[in-house]
Structure 1
């Protein structure tokens, strides 16, 4: 999946480089009237998450996913409205699902236990959720700056976040034979942030047309704090819906 991000970032860089050359040689784009273009936008992202570098003992499974919501402010370059800087704030969530594995975030040990439960009672569905307050920053390009909702676009950026909440959620406790013990609606949640790295830094890229784009991101900082578990980095790929 890292190759997907590198490809996306490479294509975005190529588009930005070519676009800069073309707009500098063909037309004085600073005279385009974009006064009617809205500067404030919502950005919604949904897609797949994975942990790169996870050992075999960390058995993620299923459709691990993210949902992000940001309020963005777009500032076009005065000399070339093809380009702008997007700055915003919002909430980023990640839900990692596990196969017959208990992520014991309430443990008092020095390392976060990932406990295999193949031969014991376990939850049929088990996930770890993290919620971050995030600040995304993007360098954006629009082929048609006067009407970005009908334009090809590309963006490169970074996201910085601080951890608000982390919890595990287990649903439908079953025995080793798969029979439900308390019924399918039985749920247990446990909250604790001490094993999760409280600061998140990620690089991002996206390419699309109109309000929809393909996005990818790679978390540079580790998912867990140093010394409490494997050195893993979150990779995300999904779709973005945005005015720009």
Structure 2
């Protein structure tokens, strides 16, 4: 998945560079955009994103790798400022919320551990090697995204090719684990299938995250990708983990 992200980032960068070069080298007849009001054009003022999340676990071993369809859901409200010299290009910026759900199998993340590093245990402590049938780590960030955008249709970008590269910075609002249905080694439920355990603590998670982003699409649909530059855990709290994601963006307004 990391290679897919890098590929999408390369495609977005290449498309932006190619379009910029093409606009500089050719002089076809084009509308006089100075006479067109583009201030209220629909150009991705609302972004809704959903897709796959993964961890680039650089030195933590196999014991803490996520499994299954880990996923994110993001929503951003953004302003769009087209360039006066060339309204095909614009800068988008805004604010929103980004959430991530990372799923694990046969793993217990001890957020409340009395230690300097975050333990990823093979089973729930004091349960004779029992584990939750479903288990996830959820983080929620308030984020400020910034994008350098290209729109093939400057008047109505929702009806043309679009691409962007950018970054987002966020601050941690919430970090918690949620386990459902504790089962023993034989698969028998310990407390019943409806048993749920939640633990909440932000002590080990890096409170600030910075990620690079890219999008390529047509109309209101685009593929998006991001790669976190900062480590998921605080310095000294565990291995260097850099989350990445790839998914679908639905944009409008």
Q: How does 1:197-208 map to 2 (within 5 A)?
A: 197-208=206-217
Q: Distance in 1 between matches of 2:45 and 2:193?
A: 40
Residue 70 (structure 2) aligned to one of 64, 71, 75: 64
| CA spacing shift, 1:11–1:40, aligned 2, 3 Å | closer
Residues 171 and 207, structure 2, Cα contact 8 Å, conserved in 1: yes
Q: What are structure 2's unaligned runs of at least 5 residues?
A: none
Deviates more, 1:3-12 or 1:30-39: 30-39
TM-score, normalized by length of structure 2? 0.91
RMSD: 1.7
Other-structure match for 2:5:
5
Shift of 1:59: 3.7
Q: 2:105 matched to 1:104? A: no
Q: Is the 8 Å Cα contact of residues 59 and 101 (structure 1) preserved in structure 2?
A: no
Q: CA deviation at 1:39?
A: 6.2
Q: Corresponding residue for 1:81? A: 87
> Following TM superposition, by how much is the alpha carbon of 1:26 offset from its aligned partner in structure 2, in angstroms?
2.0
**TM-fit CA distance, 1:22:** 2.1
* Matched-pair contact (CA < 8 Å) for 2:5–2:225: yes
Checking the alignment, whether the CA contact within 8 Å between 1:30 and 1:78 is kept in structure 2 is no
Counterpart-to-counterpart distance in 1, 2:108 and 2:21: 53
Give the counterpart of 1:43 among 44, 47, 56: 47
The alignment covers a number of residue pairs equal to 244
Q: SS at 1:221's partner residue? A: coil
1:176 matched to which residue of 2?
Answer: 185
Contact 1:167 1:192 in 2 (8 A): yes
Stretches of structure 1 that go unaligned for 5 or more consecutive residues are: none
Among 232, 240, 244, the alignment partner of 1:231 is 240
